[in-house]
Amino acid sequence: MKTNRLKEKYLKEAVPALRAKFGFKNDMSVPKIVKVTINSGVGKFKQDQKLIDEVAKDITQIAGQKAVFTQAKKAIASFKTRQGQIVGVKVTLRGKRMYDFLDRLISLALPRTRDFRGISLSAVDSNGNLNLGLKEQIIFPEISHDQVQMIFGLEICVTTTAANAAEGLELFKLLGFPISAEKKEKEIKKSSKK
């Protein structure tokens, strides 16, 4: 079975580089990507089941795995939600499908994003996980522009085993994620002025 290009890059380039930089004792302690979660809230069109099904269909096409509906755990009157009502659509990817999706995200989808200047450093949280918010699902090549009934946003969460933000950030840079260095330069300039 052929290894995915991104997984191969992780094993051949990222693991040795991370071991050298952070001093990990063995390959098993090096941070790795565990899962990718893709989700979208459907609260604004919760009354229209056709539109909810359309969101689920598009997310299924993007992920290559059947999307599941998330339901409200309790009723909240101010949000006009009832317990058990569908409030979102999500997919959790692991293994080969996860690496295939990330490869397409890095090399095809993100470069097609309008006014894309790289992923902000603040997108990586203190646990080394990457959280991306996309405004349009049509940046993915799987979605046909002429068959799109509506445009919706989605969130992608890349969960890692990294202990902190520095390890997670280095892992994403080594895998080829387009991390923007703009914010870091601005922070350095601010701290040097003080």
CATH number reported for the structural domain that contains residue 36 in this entry: 3.30.1440.10
Confidence of residue 41 (pLDDT cuts 50, 70, 90): confident
Whole-structure pTM value: 0.77
Question: Are the C-beta atoms of residues 153 and 121 closer than 8 Å to each other?
Answer: no
CB atoms within 10 A of CB 7: 20
pLDDT score at 101: 85
The percent of residues above 90 in pLDDT, for the chain, comes to 0
Q: Give CA–CA dist 171/175, Å, rounded.
A: 6
Beta bridge partners of 91: 38
Per the structure, the complete domain to which residue 25 belongs is given by 5-193
Query: How much is the mean pLDDT over the chain?
Result: 78
Instruction: Please tell me which residue, 115 or 18, carries the higher pLDDT value.
Output: 18
Q: How many domains does the chain have?
A: 1
Q: Please tell me the predicted confidence (pLDDT) of residue 185.
A: 47
Instruction: Quote the pLDDT of residue 57.
Output: 83
Q: What is the pLDDT of residue 66?
A: 85
